[in-house]
Structure 1
């Protein structure tokens, strides 16, 4: 056998002084990411650290359960959006690549074939090198052949769990005495032979261990293939893949390499807890923003950029995930002293989180994951692949976003599209780009509810099953919409709909939001009761780009919904994206991060919007009438000011739904002009309830963006000047 040629990889070049933030972080025993190895990509890589010195690693391809590569001399170079904020790039191994395996199944099917059944497609990527290529990456394998189940952690040891042809497999990677990869494998009983692709002919592959009596290694078509015969009992054996011939270890030395204790929870990896203080908000208004201080200064340099949150029953504890792959649990939310505990690490870009009776469930780029603490020590021991049906590409913008549930227990999330470098171009569309998804409570059935989204960084499921999303301006998204989602709906980008026939009209959003109002949307959430003031039952909308919170007012005419929103006069520390109401105190908690295209100042923050009991003076209701608009406010109004038409300044404009990036503000009166039109208010009438103003608008008609600037006051003299941004889809 020949020795495999060593490929020396370019090491990361660091500036003098402190390492960049991403490079300081300890990611734990494993890390999920998309990884470039040579000219190939592993889109669902699970990188496993093999030594205490953090120098030697192996990467599994969780789509095919092949061992994709082994390298030594460093970790990764940090290319990519999650590390260095680089677009159109993926990280690469640093150091010396010892060996790698090409894209394809890591194990044979029941007939002994390694032929990849996934269709090839042309992957056109609008990257610096341009061009296109044929690939199969990003597509799940048939589950009856290969299915990743998850992985266990026992201290720093890792056991990967998967199934091959329905046969359960446990695999523990580790270093041999000589520093080679030792794959310790336990296979369940099976009536058929199984074959595992170990390496190209070149490395020395040696099987050993008590369970390897009948395991053979054969060179077949230039590959080293491990052959495992049918068996009535489970077998455990190991295979060493080495650059030089090694003497197989004895059964005594092998004993204990795989045992039950490794999959039943182990010693804590992060026993330290971190204490912070809740910082109360200040201000004279009815709402203040408290800061649940994050553990930014922590022993593992974990980067606190929050992508999801949820509360445990009772509301005293919450779980939050970070963009870099962590899950943290914070306790003490009923007081001012907070205790943070690191619960999980190494997840692939988790940007949504829900707590269920069966564990913490997360939306990750590679899968929907569910975490289990098997020994109740406050750390996840089993990272379960709850659902792996998602298709993905290597495109950086294809985030898997948010996670929430309906009353039936279904999960909902969304995925981003694949915009290229500026202009109207998009990179490859997979089956799931730009989709809004429903996942059954058991994780077995994934449905695409609607298509056409671009960057839906936040969704909402209302108390009556309402489905909503925000989006992000770009090609086919003229300004940020607040979308109503319905089954079979189309909400933006024609390329997001499979097939040759593309939509020529999109579903109307509830609201088109001008760029100075929201340039990049977050999630939606509904206030459950009056503990949070007068907004019980109302929808709220978060802006990641403007770090803002809005109250949403909706009207339904026939099967068309339209609405308006107005901003709370509050300041947040970061780009807020996720929100939950705490069942204990009834207050709104928000979290988010600073990636790009946000005015948020901090990398991440967790904050509480607390109602202090003072009167609220804001718009609460919006309705289009045949003669104009009715606006309802939270308090009785000063009649003289409310009925003075000079106190109402209205402007309107349309936007163009097209392949161009964004849209100008287009005059309604003269579409050839890029300008806002002044809207005349002929009459303002305060209704008998003292809170609702009817604005008479001659010639009222559908319009994308209607900006209402009141200059009125409540009956007790409190000024109301907050702008109201509305959309008119239909006039009754």
Structure 2
């Protein structure tokens, strides 16, 4: 279903729902439980429609949840048995908000991004209910178009609060005296400075519904397949860059724009070509190959639990809407720019994943809502808790780029024989088209020849030497033959590395 076919009845549909399957999309992945993690739904009080659009853990361990319809609820004891609603305790903290799509505890208060402003919510009299709603910042354009969502906020290491703005996607609602120039910064990443000033930072976003930071405090967002996006990306937000979507181009002419005008955008070129010829264009740090690693990446969070959630410290866990799951992303820097690998992690949630956060005990919470689109999960909304069972899974923990291949780090010791056999691995590479059309197939697909596999160090590292690496291409790796020293197969025997840059050296 393309965004142009959305009916008036779906005028409030969630922004991430404007998707069309690629003509040659891969078959849906078979849902497979992750045996090393438990998934437990929260049993919610009947009066709460918890379309959880944002999660924020408070200093006292309570959990604040923003709801798409305009409320904020407090879970008094989120680490209690999720099946016991009375033990968890649910209390309404704020209401009357306009589609709050994100939540943050910051400087002693909750902050959310509504459709038209950044708002601070405070309980000044200590009764557990917000009695002060303060505008922190505003100033972006809103016309009434259903797609004009706003997401955030997320703090960076410099004290700024980041938010992202949906492109309008379609004609503005016609109002007396309205001009397109009255609707600035759609499809932009913005910051609110520590002094409270709203500033544009980067352009070229479409529907950037997931926004968060890595362990280093750098801010990223997910975006959605559609026009100008052949598949779903994870991009590194920073000042002065252009990610490719055309709706933001007119605002580059504004005096306060930090992005230089790009001129007329080319059509039907590949991403590697766009990296060379489109002024200011920066490719995604990671591509999520369509269907293979989901169809709609959403909110995400960084694992800073210190090992309480398993062997994936400082990696990103990314919600997936259509396939109702969570995926995992490993990032590294090559030549000063982020790139990395995507992995599937958990499938088969009860509803579409929308927002994620870790509790102090190391469990991962997933806020859910199916509003506006279908997902493999059948519930309309909910909250689920994912916990590590404590037993080490056998997974590819990291996939790092090398000048002549990749370095694989496993979570457990590999079987030296199977891991050293070239036939245990299969790799192809492909890229995407940069064009105005809705979505796109993998193009220029070619095999990557693996010439050697060397087991190193303590048996947890394998160095793959490859021929045919290509910068600007996704390198898809399958490991059907690799076993652990105990003889077990990989939980997820595939990885998808976005090789924007090949490291220099030997």
Q: TM-score range by the shorter chain?
A: 0.7 to 0.9
Is residue 50–residue 383 contact of structure 2 (8 Å, CA) maintained in 1?
A: no
Partner of 1:571: 348
Is residue 472–residue 480 contact of structure 1 (8 Å, CA) maintained in 2?
A: yes
Alignment partner of 1:681: what SS? strand
1:658 paired with 2:432, answer no
Alignment of 1:225-236 (within 5 A): none
Alignment partner of 1:530: what SS? coil
Partners of 2:64 and 2:140 in 1: CA distance? 24
- Residue among 414, 426, 444 paired with 1:637: 414
Partner of 1:304: 50
Q: How many residues align?
A: 441
Partner of 1:718: 488
The 3 A distance-change label for structure 1 pair 407 and 608 is: farther
Is residue 119–residue 136 contact of structure 2 (8 Å, CA) maintained in 1?
A: yes
Q: CA deviation at 1:627?
A: 1.8
Partners of 2:14 and 2:201 in 1: CA distance? 33
Is residue 450–residue 467 contact of structure 2 (8 Å, CA) maintained in 1?
A: yes
Q: CA deviation at 1:691?
A: 1.4
Larger-gyration structure (1/2)? 1
- Residue among 438, 441, 452 paired with 2:191: 438
Partners of 1:609 and 1:384 in 2: CA distance? 34
Partner of 1:695: 464
Partners of 2:471 and 2:164 in 1: CA distance? 29
Greater Cα shift, 302-311 or 598-607: 598-607
- Residue among 310, 313, 325 paired with 1:536: 313
Alignment partner of 1:385: what SS? strand
* TM-score of the aligned structures, taking structure 2 as reference length: 0.81
1:525 paired with 2:292, answer no
Partners of 1:476 and 1:428 in 2: CA distance? 21
The 3 A distance-change label for structure 1 pair 394 and 284 is: closer
The 3 A distance-change label for structure 1 pair 390 and 703 is: closer
Alignment partner of 1:554: what SS? strand
Partners of 2:14 and 2:485 in 1: CA distance? 53
Partners of 1:641 and 1:362 in 2: CA distance? 50
Partner of 1:511: 286
Partners of 2:316 and 2:483 in 1: CA distance? 24
Query: Unaligned regions of 5+ residues in structure 1, if any?
Result: 1-77, 89-282, 422-426, 668-675
Is residue 286–residue 614 contact of structure 1 (8 Å, CA) maintained in 2?
A: yes
Partner of 1:377: 127
Is residue 34–residue 346 contact of structure 2 (8 Å, CA) maintained in 1?
A: no
* TM-score of the aligned structures, taking structure 1 as reference length: 0.57
The 3 A distance-change label for structure 1 pair 83 and 570 is: closer
After superposition, give the CA deviation of every residue in 1:428-476 in whole Å (9 maximum; x if it has no partner): 583211111221346x211222111101111121232212111001111
Partner of 1:40: none
Is residue 323–residue 348 contact of structure 2 (8 Å, CA) maintained in 1?
A: no
- Residue among 338, 354, 360 paired with 1:561: 338
Greater RCO (Cα-Cα under 8 Å, separation 6 or more): 2
Alignment of 1:174-573 (within 5 A): 285-295=35-45, 297-298=46-47, 302-315=48-61, 317-336=62-81, 337-407=87-157, 409-420=159-170, 430-441=183-194, 444-497=196-249, 498-499=251-252, 501-502=261-262, 504-505=278-279, 506-516=281-291, 517-528=293-304, 529-573=306-350
